Amino acid sequence: MSSKRVVAVLGATGVQGGSIVRHLSTQPEYDIRAITRNPLGEAAKQLSALPNVSVAKAHFGDPASLVAAFEGVEAVYALTNFYDPENQANPLQELEQGIALADAAKEAGVQFFIWSTVPSALLRMKGKFQSTRLVENKFYVSAYLKQIKLPHIDLYLGFYYDNWINFGLLSLASDGTIEILQPILQPETKIGMVWTARDLGPTVDTVLKNYRTAPRLLNENIYCVGGYHSTADFARELQKQTGKTVRVVGGPTTGFQDLDTMYEYYNRHSVYSEFTLPKKEALELGIKFHTLEDYVREVAVPYVHKLGQAQ
């Protein structure tokens, strides 16, 4: 019988889940169960080729599939995706999905649940901000985890550095100027940010290595947030490292009303501005974060070079 620790990762083919699976696959103590609704897709096949990784099929709308996917699992990394077309018709869909995940984990005997979430804007603003389902549904899942007494942590993430490239927001104009498309969010609005692809996996790994010997982690918060930056900070660093002119281009909408409202909230009230980033509690656990300068040097600059070659 294997003595390895079995960890299930939801959203395994996405940015969060994929980064966790790839990092944990390098750690010999784990067997990773990558959960996806499409195990035959190319992204799932690539994950299954990694060491210590198997792929399992499950879907939020099929509770039995979730329980089966969690059988024999010590820990679960769980998230929901607001942007999934399945979640747009029902304003409470993410809440229902998060509760289904929690119930399945409880039924399967999961020992530890890591919930990817964001702070409640409604509570943070003491009821003075009309918050969105994009934010509040995740918060209510956190409340439900406490209600059913499932040992867990709430893992708060920042805005992804990765978004600028993953969402195609970085481009070259005909005159060679680098343009960063950022609707709604003002260029100088500072918020907590993180290089998700590089820092989320090690953060989850550190939490998994410590939660059994550090009871203070249970039912608490961990912030996977590397720094406090703005889109303009990214533009200035990209200009510094490339020597090219960089400009931020605004836009009237992101295409999602809830995201537009959240960005307007960031413009007025920021987020994660109450404390120094990275948070000392994360640093005391041994979590290390890459900087914005690291991301620009290792990802954004090579991407810009590729854009130039394609012109």
Asked if residues 144 and 274 have their Cβ atoms less than 8 Å apart, the reply is no
pTM of the model: 0.95
The span from the CA of 101 to the CA of 56, in Å, is 15
pLDDT of res. 2: 65
Stated as kind and residue range, the H or E segment containing 232 is helix 231-242
Asked if residues 132 and 258 have their Cβ atoms less than 8 Å apart, the reply is yes
160-194+226-311 is a CATH 3.90.76.10 domain:
no
Render each residue's pLDDT in the chain as its tens digit; 311 residues. 468 999 999 999 999 999 999 999 999 999 999 999 999 999 999 999 999 999 999 999 899 999 999 999 999 999 999 998 888 889 999 999 999 999 999 999 999 999 999 999 999 999 988 899 989 999 999 999 999 999 999 999 999 999 999 999 999 999 999 999 999 999 999 999 999 999 999 999 999 999 999 878 888 899 999 999 999 999 999 999 999 999 999 999 999 999 999 999 999 999 999 999 999 999 999 999 999 999 999 999 999 999 999 87
pLDDT of res. 167: 94
pLDDT of res. 52: 96
191-194 β-sheet, strand order: 159-160, 191-194, 227-229
* Domain residue spans of the chain: 160-194+226-311
